[in-house]
Amino acid sequence: TFNGSSAIEPRASLEWAANPNNRWSISYGLHSQLQQPQLYFSSASDQNQDLALTKAHHLVLSYQRILSYGSLLSAELYYKSLFDVPVSRQSSSFSALNLLEGFIDEPLINEGTGTNYGIELSLQRFVSKGFYYLLNATGYQSKYTGSDGIERDTRFNGNYIFNVTAGKEWQRITKKGKDRLLGINFHVAYIGGFRDTPIDEAASRAAGRTLYQNDLAFSIRQKAYFRTDLRFYLKRNKVNANRTLSLDIQNLTNAENEAFRYYDAQQNTVVVQHQLGIIPMLSYRVEF
């Protein structure tokens, strides 16, 4: 890395096929990761440039079963133990695991930890007669510990994720041998609300800007996230080029998903900022 950090990352995996349709596997890996660039180039201290890599022990137990009609059922248990996570040198709830954006104005040390574990179930049908789908459900926990020694929920601990993806394609070969493909697919996501830190309204009012109750970091929860995407497309395949005309409608139901909260000095209250609503996109793509 730019500061001379290096890492050895051992990996091991064992797989057992009980029969042609059933397969078990267990794997372990030691993973290393650089954090976001703004974490190292702090205006408060050059010491952050010497931070070591964040590391994690990752253990996964998985099972796969091939079903009829070209379908696959899979289950996965996972456990991840993170260490050498950058946290504040002073007693604080800050951890690099929750960092989204912005620069860090304090010196950090690699003494934080984190834990992620959960189970994921998936049912997938591969393309057959133009039809396919993928159903996915995940339950998980995501915790971290800052330099204050208190274990808390991470920002991203929504606890559950549900995804449904399905599509259908119709292919037609014209008398002149031209290949036409008409398709439709959709994706639905329902995700447990991420965590947020309460805003200190009295302190924010006095300061005229948003101030948080950092001793209660990520103790409140946003509303669950819901989004539906729909896509129509027409493909024309030729020898020298492929052309695709598509209409994508993101957030079809115009769901108002929370983005963040802030103190609005003009309204003198805490305001919830929402993510974008429905977004239609028409595109034409040529591939040579």
Same domain? For 110 and 166 the reply is no
Q: Does a structural domain hold residue 132?
A: no
Residue 224 lies in a domain: yes
On whether both 163 and 153 belong to a single domain, the answer is no
125 belongs to a structural domain: no
Asked whether residue 146 falls in the same domain as residue 190, the answer is no
254-283: pLDDT as tens digits: 999 999 999 999 999 999 999 999 999 999
Is residue 113 in a domain?
yes
Residues 3 and 99 in one domain: yes
Are 194 and 287 contained in the same domain?
yes
Query: pLDDT tens-digit profile of 100-146?
Result: 877 778 889 999 999 999 999 999 999 988 999 999 999 999 999 99
Does a structural domain hold residue 124?
no
Does 184 share its domain with 253? yes
Six-digit token string for 234: 């027409």
106 and 178 both lie in a single domain: no
What's the structural domain count of the chain?
A: 2
Q: Cα(179)–Cα(191) distance, rounded to whole angstroms?
A: 39
The answer to whether residues 110 and 163 belong to one domain is: no
Judge if 146 and 212 occupy the same domain. Answer: no
Q: Determine, yes or no, domain membership for 35.
A: yes
Q: Is the pLDDT of residue 183 over 90?
A: yes
Residues 229 and 198 in one domain: yes
Does one domain contain both 61 and 74? yes
Q: Can you tell me the distance from the alpha carbon of 212 to that of 201, in angstroms, rounded to the nearest whole number?
A: 8
Domain-ending residue, one of 128, 157, 186: 157
DSSP letters along the chain, please? -TTS------EEEEEEEEETTEEEEEEEEEEEE---HHHHS-SS-GGGGGPPPEEEEEEEEEEEEEETTTEEEEEEEEEEEEEEEEEESSS-S-BGGG--SS---S-EEEEEEEEEEEEEEEEEEEEETTEEEEEEEEEEEEEEE-TT--EEE-TT---EEEEEEEEEEEEEE-TT--EEEEEEEEEEEEEPPPEEPPB-HHHHHHHTS--B-GGGTT-EEPPPEEEEEEEEEEEEE-SS-EEEEEEEEESTT----EEEEEEETTTTEEEEEE----EEEEEEEEE-
pLDDT in tens, 69-85: 789 999 999 999 999 99
Model confidence pLDDT, tens digit, residues 8-39: 999 999 999 989 999 999 999 999 998 887 78
pTM of the full structure: 0.88
Domain housing 33: 1-118+141-157
Instruction: Report the sign of the C-alpha dihedral through residues 182, 135, 19, 25, in that order.
Output: positive
In-domain check, residue 129: no
Residue 278 lies in a domain: yes
Same domain, 163 and 225: yes
